[in-house]
A and B are shown apart, each in its own frame.
Chain A
Amino acid sequence: MASKKQAPFDAVAVLNEIESKFEVVQVLDLEGNVINDQYMPDLTDEQLVELMERMVWTRVLDQRSISLNRQGRLGFYAPTAGQEASQLASQYALEKADWILPGYRDVPQLIWHGLPLTKAFLWSRGHFAGSQFPEGMNALAPQIIIGAQYVQTAGVALGLKKKGLQNVAITYTGDGGSSQGDFYEGINFAAAFKAPAIFVIQNNNYAISTPREKQTAAKTLAQKAVAAGIPGTVVDGMDALAVYFVTKQARERAIAGDGPSLIETMTYRYGPHTMAGDDPTRYRTSDEDSEWVKKDPLVRFRKFLENKGLWTEEKENEVMERAKEEIKTALKEADATPKQTVSQLAEIMYSGEMPANLKEQYEIYKEKESK
């Protein structure tokens, strides 16, 4: 019997078409020129300068944190240099009462959202006082379980919606984190509840030593938004203005009741994954590093501001000096923080009365500690 020739359904064409839609949003070129004026955010000169100051300050913080970690004066530290635009320009698009659910690399966003530097250092060292955030600061301590912050963000955003607040919840993960189940469940829940959430993937190309290509065959990470039925945007994560623009837009969508967005920032970390022995020379070439150094978010934004007459070397030095002084003061305060006791850990375990088992142990430790 002659078989009828069947026309194949061209699923590959569908995929190619979808993937081709995710273009990179960019405002500045490498020389600091505005190349996409339609995405130029509405920021005053003062705001532009403030954003640059934060980026410079945070670069100094990263340099100092690495060296303090090497001296044993800080504990866990995940370097941030290279990600200033991605981290700080997205945070800059938030309001004070918005919620931040950071990953472990996202300490800078917390600092600019109101976390005293001393507490950030205490968190790095492993002291509970580092996680006692100031009253009214809507954020969680950095999340160590990759993906957990995503499902929790769906819940915070739904809570904000139920309370009728004009606020959003923003969360961050890395490229590797987009492979987690909680990543998908988080964006899908927020989508199903039309909750005001902003999900950011900071794609710095590597999850420790595993390159982004080994996480997924998807051409972009932003297209994963399609699975949740929400908008996804790829943005140049080394371009502060572009990051600010897309985050602000996602925030406006969210508070208008139109639901969550997924943003992929194309970025890079110049340092190792963490200071706990990771050696990037094992998996990254110096050629690759220098390619990304050309895209340094500070260099590009500095050129933009200099072109506008808003930035000088003197100004930059002033910010750097200020950062160093503030870091010194914060370290002193961290050093002066009393050591933790087991009875204190028992006190923060439960809200309200301690269960009988812990109460009994509390008394034992209290007795020991009084000697």
Chain B
Amino acid sequence: MAQMTMIQAITNALQTELKNDENVLVFGEDVGVNGGVFRATEGLQKEFGEDRVFDTPLAESGIGGLAIGLSLTGFRPVMEIQFFGFVFEVFDSIAAQLARQNFRSGGTKPAPVVIRSPFGGGVHTPELHADNLEGLMAQTPGIKVVIPSNPYDAKGLLISAIRDDNPVVYLEHMKLYRSFRAEVPEEEYTVEIGKAAVVQEGTDLSIITYGAMVQESVKAAEELAKDGHSVEVIDLRTVQPLDIETIIASVEKTGRVVVVQEAQKQAGVGANVVSEISERAVLSLEAPIARVYAADTAYPFTQAENVWLPNKDGIVEAAKRTLEF
């Protein structure tokens, strides 16, 4: 075991898979000799060579096309989009091509591609770096969307994503890259895609969340515990497909739910979670499902992040409303 930040755990997962499978290729803008703009691919080109870890021209769509073509010739591409706000340039390659590759070939041409990309607010990035766009991906049949919230999950989920024969969008929250360390096994292990984690158990209220909002939710739960409320926090880890079983089991136990996302209300996957609960466990509910989200504006100008981003206080407030309903 070692203490690792999330970014170190990601590098470790990439290193593990580059070692395990010679078909794994890592490429993107500045991921080679530079080791990535966040050092996620630090040292990998040196260890595995330019044939395995390489830079590309500055064109996201081209990178997507490269990944598709390489996957057709037997490789397992791990492509990087420098910031997920740039996904629009490569939307066709991901949502219209990769997502459908297996389907449009009648099941004959799988697309074992991972799209790694940083996103997320709270670190004062310039425009279109931090936007939460996972909802766009989650709406695309054929794509799995994974968002780890801690170093342990980050490694296990990335190894799973690389080994998955389907395209996986793997989103890395920038604020979580180096904000804390955790125990991460040196050896390889996987965390199953499509399985949520019960971060802490509780009986009065379920908070269902993902990404950087997991930490905020845990902080909120701690504060609520001081008032004697037992709060269960669920980290979705995979936002498409959802782990319905874990969500419903928790809701049936607590009868009260707050769904928390960093994305705007009209974006993210929160509405999908609410809808699934309504379809499957409405009779267990003691109160309407509450939601915590950002306002339906464009992602804020840097200095407005602190007033715009959802946080612990907003979660506590929503939780109290639900508990006192």
- The residues of A with any CB-CB pair to B shorter than 8 Å are 99, 128-133, 140-141, 145, 148, 150-160, 162-163, 169, 181-182, 185-186, 188-189, 192, 345, 347-352, 355-358
Q: How large is the interface on B (under 10, 10 to 19, 20 to 34, 35 or more residues)?
A: 35 or more
Q: Which residue of B lies closest to A135 (CB)?
A: B108
The residues in B between 71 and 125 inclusive whose CB is less than 8 angstroms from any CB of A are 71-75, 92-93, 96-97, 102-112
When the two chains form the complex, which single residue of B62, B71, B105 contacts A185, counting CB atoms closer than 8 Å?
B62
Most buried by B among A185, A347, A357: A185
Q: Are A128 and B106 in contact (CB under 8 A)?
A: yes
Given A128-B106, A351-B110, also A153-B194 (CB < 8 A):
no
A145 touches B96 (CB 8 A): yes
A155 to B68, Cβ gap below 8 A? yes
User: Can you list 19 A-B pairs with a CB-CB distance of less than 8 A?
Assistant: A151-B65, A152-B68, A152-B97, A153-B65, A154-B65, A158-B66, A158-B69, A162-B73, A163-B74, A189-B62, A348-B102, A348-B103, A350-B102, A351-B111, A351-B165, A352-B165, A356-B243, A356-B245, A357-B244
CB contact between B166 and one of A140, A351, A356 (< 8 Å): that residue: A351
Contact A162 B75, beta carbon cutoff 8 Å = yes
A-B complex: 5 closest residue pairs judged by Cβ atoms: A155-B69, A151-B65, A159-B73, A351-B110, A132-B106
Q: How far is the CA of A99 from the CA of B92 in the complex (A)?
A: 21
Using Cβ atoms and an 8 Å threshold, which residues of chain A touch B61? 151, 181-182, 185
A residues in contact with B62, CB < 8 Å? 151, 154, 182, 185-186, 188-189
Is B126 among interface residues, defined by CB-CB distance under 8 A? no
- Closest B residue to A162 by beta carbon equals B51
Extra contacts besides A151-B64, A154-B66 (14): CB < 8 Å = A99-B72, A131-B108, A140-B109, A148-B97, A151-B65, A151-B68, A152-B68, A155-B73, A185-B57, A192-B56, A355-B241, A356-B243, A357-B242, A358-B141
Nearest-Cβ distance from residue B97 to partner chain A, whole angstroms: 6
Asked if B36 is an interface residue, CB under 8 A from chain A, the answer is no
Contacts known (A148-B92, A185-B59); A158 close to B65, Cβ less than 8 A: no
By the criterion CB–CB under 8 Å, are A132 and B108 in contact? yes
**Is B70 part of the binding interface, using a Cβ–Cβ cutoff of 8 Å?**
yes
Q: Does B135 contact A (CB under 8 A)?
A: no
- B142 at the binding interface (Cβ < 8 Å): yes
With most chain B CB atoms within 10 A of its CB, the pick from A154, A157, A188 is A154
Query: CA A189 – CA B29 in complex, angstroms?
Result: 13
Q: Are B57 and A188 in contact (CB under 8 A)?
A: yes
Q: In the complex, A156→B243 CA distance in Å?
A: 35
Q: Is the CB of A156 within 8 A of B73?
A: yes
B105–A131 contact, CB under 8 A?
Answer: yes
Q: Are A159 and B69 in contact (CB under 8 A)?
A: yes
Q: Mark B18-31, 1 if CB is under 8 A from A, else 0.
A: 00000001000000
B residues in contact (CB < 8 Å) with A = 25, 51, 56-57, 59, 61-62, 64-75, 92-93, 96-97, 102-112, 141-142, 144, 164-166, 194, 240-245
Cβ A350 vs Cβ B142 within 8 A? yes
Cβ contacts under 8 Å, B75 to chain A: 159, 162
Of the candidates B66, B107, B112, B164, the one whose C-beta lies within 8 Å of that of A155 is B66
- Interfacial chain A residues near B240, Cβ < 8 Å: 355
B285 to chain A, nearest CB (A): 21
Contacts of B106 in A (CB 8 A): 128-132, 348
**A349 contact from B67, B68, B141, Cβ within 8 A:** B141
| Chain B hits for A347, CB < 8 A | 107
Q: CB-CB < 8 A to B112: which residues of A?
A: 351
Q: Could you say which of A156, A189, A345, A351 has the most chain B C-beta atoms within 10 Å of its C-beta?
A: A351
Smallest Cβ-Cβ distance to A169: which chain B residue: B69
Contact B102 A189 (CB under 8 A): no
B166 contact set on A, CB distance < 8 A: 350-352
| CB nearest to A181 among chain B residues | B61
Contact A140–B72 (Cβ < 8 Å): yes
Contact B105 A140 (CB under 8 A): yes
Beta-carbon contact of A189 and B73 below 8 Å: no
User: Complex formed: what's the CA distance from A356 to B240 in Å?
Assistant: 10
B69 CB contact (under 8 Å) in A145, A152, A348: A152
Bound-state CA distance A185–B166 (Å) is 25
Residues of B close to A141: CB separation below 8 A: 104-105
A189–B69 alpha-carbon span in the complex (Å): 12
CB distance from A282 to the nearest CB of B (A): 30
Q: Which of A155, A345, A358 contacts B65 (CB 8 A)?
A: A155
Bound Cα distance from A304 to B243, whole angstroms: 68
Q: How far is the CA of A355 from the CA of B106 in the complex (A)?
A: 18
Query: Within the assembled complex, what's the spacing in Å between the Cα atoms of A319 and B75?
Result: 42
Of all chain B residues, which has the CB nearest A144? B96
Chain A residues, Cβ within 8 Å of B56? 189, 192
Residues of A within 8 A of B66 (CB): 151, 154-155, 158, 189
B residues less than 8 Å from A160 (CB atoms)? 73
Min CB distance, B56 to chain A, in Å?
Answer: 7
Q: Are B102 and A186 in contact (CB-based, < 8 A)? A: no
B59–A132 CB distance below 8 A: no
Q: With both chains docked as a complex, state the minimum distance between the C-beta of B199 and any C-beta of chain A, in angstroms.
A: 21
- Considering the chains assembled together, what is the distance between the CA atoms of A112 and B107 in angstroms? 23
